[in-house]
Every structure is written in C-alpha cells, then in structure tokens.
Amino acid sequence: MNAFEREVKTLSFSNEGLDRGVVEESMYPWDKTVAAWDGQGLKTGFLDKVHFATLPTDNLYAYNAPYEPWENYYNTMMTEPVFEHESQFAFDPVKRICFRIPFISFEEEIREETSKYTIRRDRDGWIRKYPKGGGLVEDIRPVVTDEADWEALKAHVREQIKLHLTPENMHKAFDKYAEGCKRGDFVVRLRLQGFFWCPRDLFGIEEHLYAYYDYPEVLKDIGRFQLEVYKEQLDGILKILTPSLVFFEEDFSGKNGPMISPDTFDEFVVPCYQEIIPFLKARGVANVFLDTDGDFTKMVPNMMKAGLDGILPVDVNAGVDIVAVRKEFPSLKFFGGFNKLAIIDGKEAIEAEIKRLEPVIRQGGCIICTDHQAAPHTPLENYRYYVQRLHEVMCEWRGEKARKG
C-alpha cells in the first residue's frame, strides 16, 4: 500500500485492506517549538532554512535566501524543510504545498517619515504607521474599503497573475514532486485561502464583518474572483500532481463559536465551496477539509451542505470534543483532535488522551494528531513518546490485525 492509498484509506470508515493507519501532523511545526527542541538535542537545521513570515505583509513563509516573486504564490518554501523535520519522528511522508492568489504583491512605499514614526504602504497594499524604537503598529487604511478599492485591487492582481503565474513557473514549482506523487512515495497536501479568510485580509477583521451588510456584492465578487483564479490555476497544478487532501484556511471560529451566522455562511461562503469542491474531486482530490480553530460545531450542518469532507484541527482547548461531534455527525471526518497540552503533561496524560479518542480512531474517517502545533514548552521526549504511541495505536486499531480480529 503506497502513501496516497494509506492516507485515503485511513480517512475512510473501514479497515478493509488497510495495512495500518497513517501517522501525520496536520500543521507545520512552530518555530519556537523547534528552537526549544534544538536545545534538547533535535538538530534538523529547520530554522536555518526558512523564516516564519510576519503576516500579513509576507506570503506564508520565506527562504533564508533570495527567491523569485512567483515562489510566494506557487509556494513550496516549507515543503522540504518540514519533510526533513518530520522524518526525524518517523511520520508518514507528506509534501506540503501552497497556492496563493497574488494579493500580497505591492512594492513597499514610504508615505511619510518623521523622527518618531514611518507611514508605509506595505506589500499587502495596507497603509500602516510604524513607531520608531518599538511599539504597536497602527493600521491606517486597509487595501479595500469599498467597491472602487476592490475593483482597483482586482485589476492589480490580474496584472500580477499575468506576470508571475505562468505555466513555466508552475512547472518549476511542482514538477519535482510529480513522479513521487504518482508513485505514492509521499502524499501531497495543498493549502488554499478560504472564502471567509480572504476578504478579512483585505478589509480588516471588524470592517469585514460590517461589509456583510455594507458591501455584500463586493464580498460575493471577491468569492467569484477567487473561484475564477482557483479554477484557472488549479486545473494546471492538478495535471502535474494530485493532492490526497486539500484544505481551505478559514479560521472563522473562536472559543465561543463562529464569527458569522449560519445564514451568512450559507449565503456568502457555501456557494463557493459547492462550486470548487466538485472541481477538485473531478481532478482526483480525495478529501477537502476546512481549517478553523475554535468551536465550529454550530456550523457543521452548513459545512456538510457545502460539500466539505472534514475539519481540522479540532480545537480541544476551545471545548470541542471530537467524540461528541462524531456521535452527532457520524460521517464528518477529522484531522487533529489530540489535545496538544496533554503531551506536555507526560506519558499518563498521553495515554489518557489516546483512550479518550479510541472510539473515533476505531470508527475511522480520521487522522488523529495534535489540535494545532505542539507548544514551545512541550518536552521533546514527550513528543517522541506521543508519536510512538500513535504508530502503535494505528497498527493495532486501524490495520489488518484489527480487521482480522
């Protein structure tokens, strides 16, 4: 069984034909955690290869070396460093790639400078005030405040697409993974910006929520534009390689629930997923997940109506109980759900967490891993034990042994 087949089968609700369940992490490692582990003997060189972006003015991550602008959009900057890092823990092989629409594509421009501050247009088109000598950065103006701003930004992005998102650059980015993906030597996981997250980056958090009332047609057009670009670009990318899982970054939930109502989600977000998910499935993508922290449970019926297969990372510390959610929604798949803080507390806490998750693991339709990245104060020894136990559990409960038993 190759890596692609094993992941897809692990996310099914059957052990039939499954040699063992996969052991993977949903997210890249946290730089502060890796730095702490380096001090405990883990020497992957991970932090020498990449730096973590200072969002929102950077595109995800960047090399600690010069790179071409198109690499911000056909983004494989973390692919090999994370792959090499995870090989230290014997995780199943995953190549993480990312596609970004070139919204973050402006030249930085100083608008005003005094002895106390600098006002600058940043790479994302926002204007911000930077105090000299430290202090909080002040947002002066988002890149989109109304319909005219959106039309201007859309025209700018289309020009950037013509300039950077060329077939030649696409092949430079992804051809190197094509054969290994086809053989199933590893799985490819593709992340995309979702249809709630994108306009939030353009308007700002509070302004975005007001825009559902003040500029509903602008928000719908942003979604249509995302769909247009995704279809054009992903049609080419998915001819080069086939991700086993695609997930959309949304982060629409907090500890107290979603930031928008189910009705608003249905009107503005669901139609976009109902269009893009069949497009992805027709090109061989087995699973499409939504990424949100917080308590998403109120929105599950709406997400399922949208055609989403599952959710990650299932935030335990926001009060989400993966076992209870599975009882209510038996066909919903999960990626995550293991309380990362239990790893800090040691072996007994890890065993208790595994026991808590046993019903869901045995049912299938899940890849159990940390509910987001391991925290910086997680002991390396404990994390190694957690991975070891997941390997053992996935052999015992999601494999031929379990099927025969």
CB atoms within 10 A of CB 2: 12
User: What does the H/E/C string look like for 273-296?
Assistant: HHHHHHHHHHCCCCEEEEECCCCC
Q: Domain ranges in the chain?
A: 3-103+143-404
* Nearest to 219, CA basis, from 267, 276, 174, 252: 267
pLDDT over 90 at 211, yes or no: yes
Single-letter amino acid code for the residue at 379: P
Q: Give the Cα separation of 173 and 20 in Å (integer).
A: 32
- Is-contact 165 233, C-beta < 8 A? yes
pLDDT over 80 at 5, yes or no: yes
3-state secondary structure of 230: helix
Contact residues for 75 (Cβ-Cβ < 8 A; gap 6+): 59, 60, 61, 97, 98, 99, 100, 173
CATH 3.20.20.210 fits 3-103+143-404, yes or no: yes
pLDDT bin (cut points 50, 70, 90) of residue 295 is very high
Cα–Cα separations (whole angstroms), residue 324 to 259, 329, 330:
22, 9, 10
* Nearest to 92, CA basis, from 202, 11, 206: 11
The length of the chain is 405
3-state secondary structure of 218: helix
pLDDT for res 56: 58
pLDDT for res 234: 98
Q: Give the Cα separation of 327 and 230 in Å (integer).
A: 34
pLDDT for res 333: 98
Contact residues for 152 (Cβ-Cβ < 8 A; gap 6+): none
Q: Give the Cα separation of 70 and 172 in Å (integer).
A: 10
- Mean pLDDT computed over 220-245: 98
pLDDT over 70 at 93, yes or no: yes
User: What Rg do the C-alpha atoms of the chain give, in angstroms?
Assistant: 21
pLDDT for res 6: 97
pLDDT over 90 at 65, yes or no: no
pLDDT bin (cut points 50, 70, 90) of residue 134 is confident
**pLDDT tens digits, residue range 148-180?**
999 999 999 999 999 999 999 999 999 999 999
Scanning 106-261, the segments in alpha helix (DSSP H) are: 147-164, 167-174, 178-183, 197-203, 205-214, 216-240
> What residues form DSSP beta bridges with 129?
119, 138
Q: Give the Cα separation of 290 and 242 in Å (integer).
A: 18
Q: DSSP assignment, residue 12? A: S
